[in-house]
Amino acid sequence: MVGSGLMPNEVTISSILPAFANLGLDLMGKSVHCFWVRRGFEHNVVVETSLVDMYCRFRRIIVARNLFDEMPVRNLVSWNVIISGYANNGMGDDALLFYRHELDLACSESSQRRTSSTIHGLIIRIGYNKEQQIQTALIDMYTSGNFIDEAYGVFNEMVVKDMVAWTLMLKAFSSGQYWSKAVQHLRELMRVYYMSLDSTALVSMISCCKRSGALPQGRLIHALVVKRGFNKDVFVGSALISMYASCGDSGSAKKYFSRMEMKDITCWNAMIRAVGVNGNGSDAVRLLWRMDDLGVNPNESTFVSVLSACSHAGMVDEGIQIFHFMVKRRGIVPNKQHYACVVDLLGRSGRLDEAHLVMAKMPLLPHSGVYGALLSACRVYGNTKVGAEIYQQLLTLDLTVTGAGHLCSVSNLYSSVGDWEGTEMSHAVLRSKGMKKDPGYSLVE
């Protein structure tokens, strides 16, 4: 056009910009943007919205935001483009904050439910509440805030439910401890989408069975994995191994692992955790050395799993040896989880002074796992001396972060040795802080 002497106008520019965005031609897109500026065109909401959209899709979100801020006129499409740009660039929180700020929705950070309801209400008011994509986004918003009932309400209103919506609700039910609802939802999902499940959906379904202890349903999904040809997928394989281990069927986990043709570090870690949680510390150590022989480099998670397995199996010397191997031979800097495992390893074997020394010399601030491991050992062995020292350290910390469970452990320690004054003292601290320990629970499917 330019070569023929014809001057492009706003229709031409707004029509060509999406092509550059679709093809990833960022230099050409920026060149046309420069052409638009250099020719001195007046402000045009259609062209400026197209430019914002193009830069969002080029992942140049700061440039897009600057353009948006400079627009003298913005329409509904402009708002949708910039909010979608933040969301599609992995900046969902920024998209929500931007949305609330620009539309003057005055909600505090602590009122997430009210914010979600406000957005939902606005969507209903402008008539988009029956759009499938928006309904799925609403489910995602509600499940992210753990508002399961609200999410399920939107799900039930959907005329056509896609795989994303089904999977979001499945994750929400299983992570929110709606166990019976999760299994019921899982059965319905298998009935509706039996032959069109992808690996992402299968992993979510397997994880649901893992969390709810639903071994029979897990075996059905395993059969479906084989039938659909996903038995070579390493992510699906890792999920199946973890599911069998969590349901107490370590034999099936081992059998599946041994038949896998391709094993990445995630699969190895899943298998090590599987044998570890079922009390087979020696198998976990053998798997570690086998990895090393095969040239598979263990990572931080690998050593956490192995050290935890050694701790539960009472393999103190082996655990200490592996910790030194991790630091000296593999050059991995220990994190808080590694230290928690070592403290637990020494504490379970009665070597409380050594465990306390490890905690005292940690280059990191001890977290709840470290305190919990040592307090549990103090209670088992009736060591009120070390327990009292930890108690004094806990009082200097933010108890809302460390949790009420540790003060309850201190109380249990004192009561186990008949020190009722110490027991009452720890209860008094809990009451003064307005804290209460959530009761534990077990699950049998």
Which residue is associated with the tokens 């600057």? 66
pLDDT value for 285: 93
pLDDT value for 423: 62
Measure the CA dihedral 19/21/23/28, to 10°: 80
**Rounded distance between C-alpha atoms, residue 5 and residue 319, angstroms:** 78
**Rounded distance between C-alpha atoms, residue 430 and residue 436, angstroms:** 7
Cβ atoms 292, 261 nearer than 8 A: no
pLDDT value for 75: 78
**pTM for the structure as a whole:** 0.59
pLDDT value for 106: 45
Cβ atoms 128, 134 nearer than 8 A: yes
Tens digit of each residue's pLDDT (9 = 90 or more) over 46-85? 889 999 999 999 988 888 888 988 888 887 788 778 878 8
pLDDT value for 213: 82
Tens digit of each residue's pLDDT (9 = 90 or more) over 253-283? 999 999 888 888 888 999 999 888 888 889 9
pLDDT value for 300: 92
CA 156: distance to chain centroid?
A: 25
**Rounded distance between C-alpha atoms, residue 291 and residue 297, angstroms:** 7
**Rounded distance between C-alpha atoms, residue 324 and residue 316, angstroms:** 13
**Rounded distance between C-alpha atoms, residue 263 and residue 233, angstroms:** 9
Compute CA distances 87 → 61, 117, 145, 237, 439, whole Å: 10, 19, 16, 31, 38
Query: What are the sequence ranges of the domains in the chain?
Result: 1-104, 352-439
pLDDT value for 203: 86
Structure tokens at 42: 């007046």
Structure tokens at 225: 């994995």
Cβ atoms 204, 436 nearer than 8 A: no
Q: Quick one: which H or E segment has residue 128?
A: none
Structure tokens at 135: 């309904």
Considering the segment(s) 1-104 as one domain, its CATH architecture is Alpha Horseshoe (1.25)
pLDDT value for 405: 60
Which residue is associated with the tokens 């929400």? 172
In this prediction, the residues of the chain whose per-residue pLDDT falls under 70 are 92-113, 115, 122, 126, 176, 194-196, 367-369, 391-445
Around Cβ 439, how many Cβ atoms within 10 Å? 5
CA 219-221-226 angle, to 5 degrees, is 100
300 in helix, strand or coil? Answer: helix
Residue 95, C-beta contacts closer than 8 angstroms, at least 6 positions apart: 83, 84, 86, 87
pLDDT value for 412: 65
Cα-only R_g, the chain: 28
Cβ atoms 82, 49 nearer than 8 A: no
Cβ atoms 234, 263 nearer than 8 A: yes
Cβ atoms 265, 299 nearer than 8 A: yes
CA 399-401-402 angle, to 5 degrees, is 65
pLDDT value for 415: 65
Q: Which amino acid is at 106?
A: A
Which residue is associated with the tokens 């913005």? 74
Which residue is associated with the tokens 């060149």? 31
